[in-house]
């Protein structure tokens, strides 16, 4: 006789499998808890965490920690904790299709950077409709992706705060109930007047939504690779821009260094970057990944980009277009300065600051943070070189003077910067070296 495997948890069907509105893994976990009339926290502590065999989660569960919930913002993606949770829930429910509730099939196509939202956002009209019609309330995977700002069915923005208690909602909480705020337990609907989407924003956001919805609904494919993106970019560059990466970058309004890195497969575009490419090329992500770019005529678009600069200066400012391009600049990787942004947009920096001070400050702040981070990385790398040279000399019985460290590392002026001088002095102090009177600074 065949052995019958009974599930520990109800074997409930995920909603929307193989569609663009497939349920998210976090939503499935919330619904499973609800169907068993227990809190998410109890299900996680009693069944999920023990099955994951991770000591730090077990300790956190016993002592009331938040380790599982702090990592929950990635469970709808494709990291290890996402795959492990899928395996656990499949064992507990005897299902075999829960990987479809994550972004695993897009793992080789888009990086996690800027992919998933930090907190939950939802369409209040969808929840209201499902509640009124007595349908199952669930949270589609598409709601968790950062580029998604709207619900295309109800032509409204997703909201990020409960309108009753005005609090944001974490991706997963211990007391989550489908369709209700875990803070005040009111229904996640919107009674006040909703914000209208203007035509320019609707054009972009609806393009984003339809593309991502289509992508999520597709079956896993060998075209979902970084190599394919690189090949397609090179194909477009060769066929449409005569192998001129500068012209291609200008057409896309992105830095040429960024585009070159994508084309060489040194970096992979974020989902936002991929959407920008397709939007400018007036194509879908699926077509971008699959079609041949021979004999495609984009001259009418390219001509629009090659407007005479004098004429561009005299023309009336298209504030909507400028705002859209400033938003694009905010997601460039690596970040760019306001000076570079102004050159790409082809408007004076003063005009941009005058009309869009907030965007400009954000771009500038992001670039400064990037530069500061690079500077810190540089200092840390130089410290490692100093330390390596320092202990090599010590082990050889040679006094690690500044001159000898610079000679050993083959870098003149290595200790010119105060922070590196202080680091060298700290190393001397740690090893009980003391300066001798009468020594020159070069002999120390």
Q: Which residues are CB-neighbours of 402 under 8 A, at least 6 positions away?
A: 415, 421, 424, 441, 442, 444
Q: What percent of the chain has pLDDT over 70?
A: 91
pLDDT tens-digit series, residues 230-269: 999 999 998 888 889 999 999 998 898 999 999 998 888 9
pLDDT tens-digit series, residues 133-183: 999 999 999 999 999 999 999 999 999 999 999 999 999 999 999 999 999
Q: Are 76 and 39 in contact (CB under 8 A)?
A: no
Residue 350 pLDDT: 82
Beta bridge partners, 23, equal 140
Q: Pick from 395, 382, 383: which is nearest to 427 by CA? A: 383
Residue bearing the bigger pLDDT, 119 or 219: 119
Residue 314 pLDDT: 42
Crossing angle for the helix pair 25-35 and 80-93, nearest 10 degrees? 30
pLDDT tens-digit series, residues 194-234: 777 888 789 999 999 999 999 998 887 777 888 899 999 99
**Mean residue pLDDT across the chain:** 86
Task: In whole angstroms, give the CA distance from residue 74 to residue 172.
Answer: 10
Q: Pick from 118, 224, 128: which is nearest to 232 by CA? A: 224
Q: Does 128 have pLDDT greater than 70?
A: yes
pLDDT tens-digit series, residues 72-100: 889 999 998 899 999 999 999 999 999 99
The domains of the chain are located at 1-218, 219-366
Q: Does 1 have pLDDT greater than 70?
A: no
Which of the residue ranges 39-43, 110-114, 436-440 would you say has the lowest mean pLDDT? Answer: 436-440
Q: How many CA atoms lie within 13 A of 190 on its CB side?
A: 17
In angstroms and rounded to an integer, the radius of gyration of the C-alpha atoms of the chain is 28
Beta bridge partners, 150, equal 157
- Using the structure block, give the residue that is written with the tokens 């203007």: 198
Residues 289-299: what's their mean pLDDT? 74
Beta bridge partners, 187, equal 180
pLDDT tens-digit series, residues 322-356: 888 888 888 887 888 888 888 788 788 888 888 88
pTM, 2 dp: 0.69
Q: How many CA atoms lie within 13 A of 350 on its CB side?
A: 0
Structure tokens belonging to residue 396 = 């050889």
The number of beta carbons lying within 10 Å of the beta carbon of residue 109 is: 21
Q: Pick from 394, 378, 389, 377: which is nearest to 430 by CA? A: 394
Give the CA dihedral 210, 214, 215, 219, nearest 10 degrees.
170
Q: How many CA atoms lie within 13 A of 170 on its CB side?
A: 17
Query: Can you say how many angstroms the Cα of residue 276 is from the centroid of all Cα atoms in its chain?
Result: 15
Residue bearing the bigger pLDDT, 295 or 408: 408
What secondary structure does DSSP assign to 197-248, as a single string?
PPHHHHHHHHHHHHHHHHHHHSPP-TT-SHHHHHHHHHHHHHHHSTT-HHHH
């Amino acid at each position: 006789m065949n052995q019958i495997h009974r599930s520990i948890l109800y074997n409930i069907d995920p909603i929307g499998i193989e569609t663009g509105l497939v349920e998210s893994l976090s939503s499935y976990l919330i619904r499973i808890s609800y169907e068993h009339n227990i809190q998410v926290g109890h299900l996680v502590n009693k069944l999920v965490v023990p099955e994951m065999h991770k000591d730090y989660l077990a300790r956190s569960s016993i002592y009331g920690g938040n380790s599982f919930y702090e990592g929950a913002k990635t469970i709808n993606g494709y990291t290890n904790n996402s795959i492990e949770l899928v395996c656990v829930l499949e064992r507990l429910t005897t299902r075999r299709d829960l990987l479809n509730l994550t972004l695993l099939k897009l793992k080789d196509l888009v990086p996690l950077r800027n992919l998933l939202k930090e907190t939950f956002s939802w369409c209040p009209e969808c929840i209201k409709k499902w509640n009124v019609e007595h349908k199952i309330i669930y949270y589609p995977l598409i709601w968790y992706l950062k580029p998604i700002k709207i619900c295309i069915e109800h032509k409204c923005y997703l909201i990020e705060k409960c309108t009753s208690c005005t609090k944001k909602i974490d991706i997963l909480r211990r007391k989550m109930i489908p369709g209700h705020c875990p803070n005040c337990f009111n229904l996640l609907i919107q009674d006040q007047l909703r914000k209208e989407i203007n035509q320019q924003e609707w054009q972009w956001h609806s393009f984003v939504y339809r593309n991502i919805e289509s992508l999520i609904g597709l079956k896993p494919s060998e075209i979902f690779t970084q190599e394919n993106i690189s090949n397609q970019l090179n194909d477009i560059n060769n066929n449409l821009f005569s192998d001129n990466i500068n012209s291609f970058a200008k057409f896309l309004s992105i830095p040429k260094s960024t585009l070159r890195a994508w084309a060489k497969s040194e970096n992979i575009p974020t989902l936002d970057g991929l959407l920008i490419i397709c939007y400018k090329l007036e194509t879908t992500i699926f077509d971008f990944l699959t079609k041949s770019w021979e004999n495609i005529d984009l001259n009418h678009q390219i001509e629009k980009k090659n407007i005479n600069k004098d004429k561009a200066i005299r023309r009336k400012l298209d504030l909507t277009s400028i705002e859209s391009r400033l938003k694009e600049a905010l997601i460039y990787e690596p970040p760019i300065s306001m000076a570079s942004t102004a050159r790409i947009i082809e408007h004076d920096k003063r005009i941009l600051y005058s009309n869009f001070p907030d965007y400009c400050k954000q771009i500038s702040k992001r670039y400064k943070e990037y530069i500061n981070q690079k500077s810190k990385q540089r200092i840390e790398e130089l410290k490692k070189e100093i330390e390596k040279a320092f202990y090599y000399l010590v082990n050889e019985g040679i006094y690690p003077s500044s001159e000898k460290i610079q000679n050993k590392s083959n870098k003149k002026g290595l200790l010119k910067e105060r922070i590196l001088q202080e680091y060298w002095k700290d190393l001397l102090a740690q090893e009980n070296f003391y300066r001798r009177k009468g020594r020159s600074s070069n002999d120390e």
